[in-house]
């Protein structure tokens, strides 16, 4: 082994130091993304603008509407007197939900006849539908069982208690989206910057003609690759630290597990992304192409890895390529360690996956890199 | 130790059907400035790439600085300097950082590195610009840095691939001073060029055309072998005069330079006699004077005769 990898790494660091823009991007980008994703992504839909079409105008109907507002999910924005008005408001986006109380609602309740309510939901946003209907139906169910109990008690029946389900959410009891998103963001940002920086660093040498000069020199491909990617591994760790620290300070993301374990396992993930970047660089002729490929690669990562949508919800055929993405496995690792305090024995299947993917990538890109150099 | 720095025998390289280099046999001696001439796509770069050990020959063999280009490519790489057409420098590094980088890559020992960088800066007149970013230098200065980088490890053999493309005439002249200084100190230089005036500054030349070496020798030898003679004549009817001359069997080539026509004859025919014979009456020139035949004339004539002989063989075949 010679000192050449160090010479290459030294040169790479010098170039990075001169490239203020890239350097700033590497620190600012994670922060901006953290704030964007942390604040903007909220799968928990509250304060949906709601219309009430009360054809009954009774105490019972007003009571139901009031308790809907009390859940915090619905904001009554108006009372209407016809379906046409509901339709127009939904179409204009002024309201997302409408509660329709039919005539004789209270009378039916009293008489012990079936009493029905209608809930109209704007289905163009599936998130709204789920939140709006789930909350309202559980409210209706609760109301029914309360009524039933009352009746039973009135008629002298005793000892009848309803079955109660007490939900107990672990690891993120307040169901804050940021807690879920921030650890995942570590993976997304690393994927983005690691792939792009490596791909561009090699493409730049090709574009400038310096790669030709290096090929004629006694530097071996492996020495060149090691020297070129070493500085980016350091940058990867800096980014990871920035996101985790800022996530902890700004969004109070807890840190349950071993930091050391996470940083150790992150090495596999960073290396896998660098190998992908290297592979792209053998395909790209220019820096622009390298950039485009990196962005193209980012999209399936965001959509399929489980970063934004639960992995289990992804259709089976799409799960297969998703399993080949390093991010899918790193997300499970980082969430397990950060949020659940997972240890090595909890994440070792993912560790095996990552190792396998890394080996495949290294073989693939070094084969291509060698061939392309000569 | 032998005095041949490069020896090749029957070196050939094929890319699929295409024969890029055919049967090239060269001997380049220590301290020589050896020029490789030829039009684009003639096989110059392919030849250099084989000699540098980055492209394996399809057949034939060669040794460079005493090592086999096939088996000991890595040793060859350590002992040669190479300068590309585009002066591939890191534009975002300073002059000195570029030199330090290449010193490291070529394994100049750490203790010697600083001294060596200082020496090269001194020799190439770059001391005042050592801290300047390479990207902000003009073409001529970039060329100096590229040459300094290529010689940082004191290689006994230096390859220069069209080293003066896109450089102003003054810088070119200074560059050649440096090349001669290197050669004087015992460095062998192999370069490719398009410029014929540069070809005449080489100790020896090889003409490559369509992958084959047409001739090797000193510029004088090559010119003499063509048995060409030349004259310049001033005429007001340059076009008509040129046409008339081209029809004559003794004329190799006629070239326009404003009102001046340059006539080259082959087989040692006296151009003044030919002009007097061909240009009579209205076409008679105002003046005629003999001129020296240069490498360019020899080169053009060689390419033409190669094309003519190929046409003949094609006609014979059909």
Probe site for chain B from A3, A6, A210, A213 (most B CB atoms < 10 A):
A213
SS3 B112: helix
B302–chain A nearest CA distance, Å: 32
Q: Which two tokens stand for residue A98?
A: 């409408």
Q: A15 and chain B: CB distance < 8 Å anywhere? A: yes
Beta strands in chain A (DSSP E): 48-54, 74-79, 97-101, 118-121
Q: A370 and chain B: CB distance < 8 Å anywhere? A: no
**Residue B88 vs residue B292, higher pLDDT:** B292
Give the per-residue SS3 of A132-168.
HHHHHHHHHHHHHHHHHHHHHHHCCCCCCCCCCCCCC
Please name each of the domains of chain B with its CATH number: 4-223 (3.40.50.300), 227-317 (3.30.70.2070)
Q: B92 and chain A: CB distance < 8 Å anywhere? A: yes
Nearest alpha carbon to residue A121 among A84, A82, A86, A85: A86
Q: A87 and chain B: CB distance < 8 Å anywhere? A: no
**Other CB atoms closer than 10 Å to residue A214's CB: what's the count?**
18
Please name each of the domains of chain A with its CATH number: 25-41+175-373 (no CATH), 48-154 (3.40.1710.10)
Q: Which two tokens stand for residue B138?
A: 């003009």
Q: B90 and chain A: CB distance < 8 Å anywhere? A: yes
Cα dihedral angle (B57, B62, B64, B69), rounded to 10 degrees? 40
B140–chain A nearest CA distance, Å: 18
**Cβ contact B107–A4 (<8 Å):** yes
Of B77, B90, B110, the CB nearest to A217: B77
Beta bridge mates, A160: none
Cα dihedral angle (B168, B170, B171, B174), rounded to 10 degrees? 160
Which residue in this structure is represented by tokens 């980012």? A298
Buried b (16+ CB within 10 A) or exposed e, A27-64: eeebeebbeebbeeeeeebeebbbbbbbebebebbeeb
Residues of B in contact with A216 (CB under 8 A): 52, 54, 77, 80, 82, 159
| Pure H helices in chain B | 44-51, 73-78, 95-105, 110-123, 139-150, 169-184, 196-199, 219-226, 238-246, 271-278, 295-317
**Cβ contact B88–A209 (<8 Å):** yes
d(CA B286, CA B264): 18
Q: CA-nearest residue of chain B to A4?
A: B105
pLDDT value for A371: 57
Tell me the per-residue pLDDT of B150-189, one tens digit each, with 9 for 90 and over.
Answer: 999 999 999 998 888 778 889 889 999 999 999 999 999 9
pLDDT range class, residue A313, cuts 50, 70, 90? confident
Check: complex ipTM more than 0.95: no
**Cβ contact B52–A216 (<8 Å):** yes
C-alpha A315: how far from chain center: 17
Strands B33-37 and B204-209: parallel
pLDDT value for A7: 93
| DSSP structural state of residue B244 | H
**Cβ contact A217–B106 (<8 Å):** yes
Provide CB contacts within 8 A for A305, sequence distance 6+.
Answer: A187, A188, A311, A322, A325, A327, A328, A331
Is residue A341 pLDDT above 50, yes or no? yes
Probe site for chain B from A11, A209, A223, A228 (most B CB atoms < 10 A):
A11
pLDDT range class, residue A102, cuts 50, 70, 90? very high
**Other CB atoms closer than 10 Å to residue A172's CB: what's the count?**
16
Q: A204 and chain B: CB distance < 8 Å anywhere? A: no
Residues B227-248: what's their mean pLDDT? 90
pLDDT value for A132: 81
Q: CA-nearest residue of chain A to B104?
A: A7
Q: A18 and chain B: CB distance < 8 Å anywhere? A: yes
Residues of A in contact with B89 (CB under 8 A): 210
Tell me the per-residue pLDDT of B218-236, one tens digit each, with 9 for 90 and over.
Answer: 999 999 999 999 999 998 8
Q: Which two tokens stand for residue A115?
A: 């009493």
Nearest alpha carbon to residue A43 among A142, A119, A130: A130
**Cβ contact B89–A210 (<8 Å):** yes
Q: A217 and chain B: CB distance < 8 Å anywhere? A: yes
pLDDT value for A311: 84
Asked if B93 contacts B134 with a C-beta cutoff of 8 angstroms, the reply is: yes
Tell me the per-residue pLDDT of A14-42, one tens digit each, with 9 for 90 and over.
Answer: 998 888 888 888 888 888 888 888 777 66
Provide CB contacts within 8 A for B234, sequence distance 6+.
Answer: B259, B260, B285, B286, B287
B224–chain A nearest CA distance, Å: 37
**Cβ contact B84–A214 (<8 Å):** no
Asked if A30 contacts A113 with a C-beta cutoff of 8 angstroms, the reply is: no
Q: A215 and chain B: CB distance < 8 Å anywhere? A: yes
pLDDT value for B1: 46
Asked if B147 contacts B167 with a C-beta cutoff of 8 angstroms, the reply is: no
Whether the full predicted model's pTM is greater than 0.90, yes or no, is no
Is residue A44 pLDDT above 80, yes or no? no
Range name among A231-235, A306-310, A326-330 with the lowest pLDDT average: A306-310
């Amino acid at each position: 082994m010679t000192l050449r990898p160090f010479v290459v790494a030294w040169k790479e660091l010098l170039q990075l130091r001169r490239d203020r823009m890239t350097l700033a991007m590497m620190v600012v980008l994670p922060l901006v993304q953290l704030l964007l994703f942390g604040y903007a992504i909220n799968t928990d839909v509250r304060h949906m603008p709601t219309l009430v079409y009360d054809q009954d105008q009774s105490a019972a109907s007003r009571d139901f509407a009031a308790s809907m507002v009390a859940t915090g999910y619905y904001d009554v924005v108006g009372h209407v007197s016809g379906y046409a008005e509901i339709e127009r408001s939904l179409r204009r986006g002024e309201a997302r939900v409408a509660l329709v109380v039919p005539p004789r609602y209270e009378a039916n309740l009293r008489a012990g006849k079936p009493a029905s309510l209608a809930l109209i939901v704007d289905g163009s946003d599936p998130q709204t539908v789920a939140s709006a209907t789930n909350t309202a139906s559980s409210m209706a169910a609760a109301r029914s069982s309360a009524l039933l109990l009352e009746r039973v008690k009135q008629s002298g029946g005793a000892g009848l208690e309803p079955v109660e389900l007490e939900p107990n959410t672990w690891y993120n009891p307040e169901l804050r989206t940021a807690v879920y998103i921030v650890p995942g963001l570590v993976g997304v940002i690393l994927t983005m910057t690691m792939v792009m920086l490596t791909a561009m660093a090699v493409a730049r040498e090709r574009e400038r003609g310096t790669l030709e000069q290096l090929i004629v020199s006694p530097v071996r491909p492996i020495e060149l690759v090691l020297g070129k990617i070493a500085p980016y591994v350091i940058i990867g760790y800096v980014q990871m630290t920035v996101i985790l620290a800022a996530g902890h300070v700004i969004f109070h993301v807890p840190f349950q597990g071993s930091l050391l374990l996470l940083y150790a396992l992150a090495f596999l993930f960073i290396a896998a992304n660098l190998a992908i970047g290297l592979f792209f660089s053998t395909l790209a002729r220019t820096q622009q192409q390298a950039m485009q490929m990196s962005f193209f690669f980012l999209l399936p990562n965001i959509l399929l890895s489980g970063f934004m949508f639960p992995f289990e919800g992804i259709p089976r055929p799409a799960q297969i390529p998703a399993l080949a993405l390093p991010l899918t496995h790193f997300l499970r690792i980082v969430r397990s360690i950060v949020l659940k305090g997972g240890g090595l024995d909890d994440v070792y299947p993912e560790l095996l996956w990552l190792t396998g993917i890394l080996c495949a990538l290294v073989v693939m890109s070094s084969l291509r890199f060698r061939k392309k150099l000569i | 130790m032998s005095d041949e720095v490069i020896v090749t025998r029957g070196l050939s390289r094929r890319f699929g059907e295409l024969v890029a280099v055919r049967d090239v046999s060269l001997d380049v001696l220590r301290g020589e400035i050896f020029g490789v001439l030829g039009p684009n796509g003639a096989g110059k770069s392919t030849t250099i790439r084989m000699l540098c050990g980055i492209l394996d020959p399809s057949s034939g063999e060669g040794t460079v600085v005493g090592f086999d280009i096939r088996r000991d490519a890595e040793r060859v790489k350590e002992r040669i300097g190479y300068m590309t057409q585009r002066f591939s420098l890191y534009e975002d590094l300073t002059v000195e950082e570029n030199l330090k980088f290449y010193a490291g890559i070529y394994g100049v020992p750490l203790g010697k590195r600083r001294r060596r960088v200082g020496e090269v800066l001194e020799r190439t007149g770059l001391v005042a610009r050592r801290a300047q970013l390479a990207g902000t230098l003009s073409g001529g200065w970039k060329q100096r840095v590229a040459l300094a980088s290529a010689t940082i490890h004191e290689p006994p053999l230096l390859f220069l691939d069209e080293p003066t493309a896109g450089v102003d005439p003054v810088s070119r002249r200074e560059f050649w001073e440096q090349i001669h200084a290197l050669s004087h100190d015992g460095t062998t230089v192999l370069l490719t060029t398009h410029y014929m005036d540069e070809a005449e500054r080489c100790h020896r030349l090889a003409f490559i055309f369509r992958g084959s070496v047409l001739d090797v020798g000193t510029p004088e030898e090559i010119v003499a072998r063509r048995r060409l003679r030349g004259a310049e004549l001033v005429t007001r009817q340059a076009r008509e005069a040129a046409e008339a001359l081209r029809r004559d069997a003794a004329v190799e080539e006629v070239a326009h330079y404003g009102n001046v026509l340059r006539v080259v004859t082959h087989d040692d025919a006296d151009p003044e006699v030919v002009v007097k014979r061909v240009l009579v009456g209205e076409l008679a020139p105002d003046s005629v004077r003999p001129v020296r035949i240069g490498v360019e004339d020899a080169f053009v004539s060689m390419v033409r005769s190669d094309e003519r002989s190929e046409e003949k063989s094609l006609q014979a075949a059909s």
